[in-house]
Structure 1
Amino acid sequence: MKLIVRWLLLAAALLLVAHLYPGVTVASFGSAMVAAFVLGLLNTLVRPLLVLLTLPVTLLTLGLFLFVINALMFWSAASLLEGFAVTGFAAALIGSLIYSACGMVIDVAVEHLFARE
């Protein structure tokens, strides 16, 4: 149940990103749900490999290169899907920053909501 609630909230966050920043467009809530799922898959499967491969650059930039990796994941998800579009790398960077901030808030809220006392 926790996973489904988190997925729905992340899809809503993707719609919020599209509403706040004009460089990101999402066609519908269904497209946002698919995009949130694909983003989750990319972040789970591909991102760790990219982080490992770019570790020297990440260390050299004191971790700032991780923002580039997040933007690449956001941009790749948009290139794979029909109802989710990003106009360029700058839009992917800003969109991924907003989406990550929303994701952190959602994680805290979901943990608080499903906390066992």
Structure 2
Amino acid sequence: MSKQDVVLGQGVPGGCCPTLATAPLAEDRAEDLAGAFKALGDPVRLRLLSMIASQDGGEVCVCELTPAFELSQPTISHHLKLLRNAGLIDGERRGTWVYYRVVPGALDRLADVLRTPRGAGATP
């Protein structure tokens, strides 16, 4: 299979996904990834994702997230909704609170597409 035959996000021999540096993105894959990266383009959402991802136990209550920001609870909920819509986090209601966790593989999916193949783009 030539480099031109490979399109990111589609089947590749050996099950390995190509990166931005090895093959062009398919249109639907680009739209999917753009939504996730757009969601992370806001500092509040980036911090929220970081707080959720770094939490011991893998999840955090919204009641622990809100006090970390000088924003209203509805604003924090809006940011969390955008992260959910982008497929980066998921939540589960328990009583009056929602507990958030990172969707398994979501961060790897973003990192994998940006990863530079060994030797490519390296500076001496």
Higher strand share: 2
Same fold (TM over 0.5): no
Answer 1 or 2: higher relative contact order, Cα 8 Å, separation at least 6: 1
Q: TM-score, normalised by structure 2?
A: 0.33
The TM-score, its normalising length taken from structure 1, stands at: 0.34
Larger radius of gyration: 2
